[in-house]
Homo-oligomer: A and B are copies of this chain.
Amino acid sequence: VSREQKFWGWGEPGAGPALPDHAAGELRERLGVSGEVVLSPVALAEVRLRAPVLAAGLRAALEGAVGTEHVRDDREVRVLRAAGKSYLDLLAQRAGECEDAPDVVVAPASHEQAAAVLRACAEHGAAVIPFGGGTSVVGGVAPLRGRFETAVCLDLGRLDAVLDMDERSRLARVGAGLRLPELDHALASHGLRLGHVPQSYEWATVGGCAATRSAGQSSTGFGSFEDLVAAVRCATPVGELATLGAPASAAGPDLRALVLGSEGVLGVITELVLRVRPVAPERRYEAWMLRSFDAGCDALRALAQAEVAPDVARLSDEDETRTTFAFAGEAGIARRVSGAALRALRYRPGCLLIAGWEGDAADIARRRAPAVRVLRSADALPLGRGPGEAWGGARFAGPHLRDALLDRGVLVETLETAATWSGLGALHASVRDALEAALRATPAIVGCHASHLYPDGASLYFTVLARQDPDDPAGQWNAAKRAAGDAIAAAGATITHHHAVGRDHARWLEPEIGALGVELLRGAKLVCDPTGIMNPGKLLPDG
């Protein structure tokens, strides 16, 4: 049996770090919450569900496609497939609001079975919601039905095989439902790994990473997920779409790019050929302090443009730096950095940079040396490996800690964007200001880091903490999100660097890609999915 997350939170029950003891004091002081657990998720039995709507003909066709035991409509599976992991999702799941859960969860074991499921749903008229790791934070797996009565969750968890290894070309053909840790485990026996490590690493599937254009914390060094995809195979309601596994081609537009980021609205990715790389025997994560966010961004730009950026590069702004030190507590970064020392050096408020290299020792030494020269010439203060390794050790902690914060009545959510180096400073200010203005009714902390470096720009990743409005927690966040999204669009930046569009960003797609861009996507959908069963309400704005 495949492992499953809690329906109302991140990870398996009991897994992951707990909120450190001293955090309660920080929450009290900065957000005005007590720091005590004040809210608890409902039990599975209390979750509100509608009876599934599943016509006998469709059920028979689905059972014919995948086998009776893989067509499930019990309470547990429906609740587990009812939502992703955004703050809004967790609010609803914790409250037991699962009325719209999918009517049935169907798990094919092959491309052919997936194709048969799509044909059955097209014939009988049912919405299909592909479900990989279920880690979407933009409503990407919300069981929206469009004009259909029945929502079929297409669970890709059984498409989890390594189908072929071409070690000579460093290519692995794998099932789309394979999770990242399981893939890396399988690759390790060949001395290989994927090198794609998003914060959702523990649960994300390769198909989901492809469908949403995942970036990964090491994207500065190893590229984003789309750079790792040599070829894709999709099932669509009208047939198969497969791209060639050539390393490059000029045979017309790159159709791989039309599949990557298509978020299940054209069809479902069933297999991928992935570019893999040798395991990294060493990893060196270290921290530096920069005098300001502007100075730090200049240093990041110098690193990227000199093509000597570390594999991981992540610069917190002053607010995030302050919060990081405060929440890290004794076990974390703060123990290893003397506040007095930083003050004395006038790096306070400074900006924390995490820089990480992965590879063999000689390779790291060769690549790190020119980066260190850039950082020193930017007047950066080395903090050593301690705080860097602390960050590396806690790189997956965020979503676990979020559950503990929700227990304590805290609004906690993130959003991200990207812009050119020229536009980054103004974007940072305008999104921060928009969030702070929208949340002004309650104490709030808005922090940001720049990461995912490119020669022409970088991403900005905002984390928001605030006292939850107990009367309308969803409305509180929706207002903040709306303000931030509008600020991003007004700045000419992208509405998402790596969280994808899903349901929650659909309103900002047309401002970003234009009316004709939206029509092109609608045209592609009409070709692949003429009856509109695939993931309705996602990616494309309504209407």
**A246-B419, A370-B366, A494-B246 given as contacts; is B516 within 8 A of A251 (CB)?**
no
**A257-B258, A505-B251 given as contacts; is B512 within 8 A of A520 (CB)?**
no
**A169-B422, A244-B494, A420-B166 given as contacts; is B254 within 8 A of A260 (CB)?**
yes
A252 proximal to B (CB < 8 A)? yes
Which of A250, A523, A524 has the most chain B CB atoms closer than 10 A to its own CB? A250
A360 to chain B, nearest CB (A): 10
Give bound CA distance, A524 to B259, whole Å. Answer: 14
Give bound CA distance, A422 to B170, whole Å. Answer: 9
Chain A interface helix/strand/loop/mixed: mixed
In the bound complex, residues from chain B placing their C-beta under 8 Å from that of A521 are 252-253, 255
In the bound complex, residues from chain B placing their C-beta under 8 Å from that of A527 are 516, 519-520, 522-523
A457 proximal to B (CB < 8 A)? yes
In the bound complex, residues from chain B placing their C-beta under 8 Å from that of A420 are 166, 168-169, 171, 245-247
Closest residue of chain B to A275 (Cβ to Cβ) is B456
| Chain A positions 165-195 with a Cβ under 8 Å from a chain B Cβ | 166, 168-171
A474 proximal to B (CB < 8 A)? no
What is the copy number of this chain in the assembly?
A: 2
Q: Which of B213, B236, B238 contacts A250 (CB under 8 A)?
A: B213
Contact between B422 and A252, CB atoms less than 8 A apart = no
In the bound complex, residues from chain B placing their C-beta under 8 Å from that of A431 are none
A532 to chain B, nearest CB (A): 15
| Chain A positions 522-539 with a Cβ under 8 Å from a chain B Cβ | 522-524, 526-528, 539
Which of A236, A259, A497 has the most chain B CB atoms closer than 10 A to its own CB? A497
Contact between A492 and B245, CB atoms less than 8 A apart = yes
Q: Which of B215, B238, B251, B253 contacts A257 (CB under 8 A)?
A: B253
Closest residue of chain B to A359 (Cβ to Cβ) is B307
Q: Which of B171, B262, B498 contacts A252 (CB under 8 A)?
A: B262
Contact between B456 and A419, CB atoms less than 8 A apart = no
Contact between B513 and A252, CB atoms less than 8 A apart = yes
Give bound CA distance, A169 to B421, whole Å. Answer: 5
A495 proximal to B (CB < 8 A)? yes
**A246-B420, A512-B249 given as contacts; is B255 within 8 A of A517 (CB)?**
yes
A240 proximal to B (CB < 8 A)? yes
Contact between B215 and A251, CB atoms less than 8 A apart = no
Contact between B418 and A305, CB atoms less than 8 A apart = no
A227 to chain B, nearest CB (A): 10
Which of A260, A500, A513, A519 has the most chain B CB atoms closer than 10 A to its own CB? A513
Contact between B366 and A512, CB atoms less than 8 A apart = no
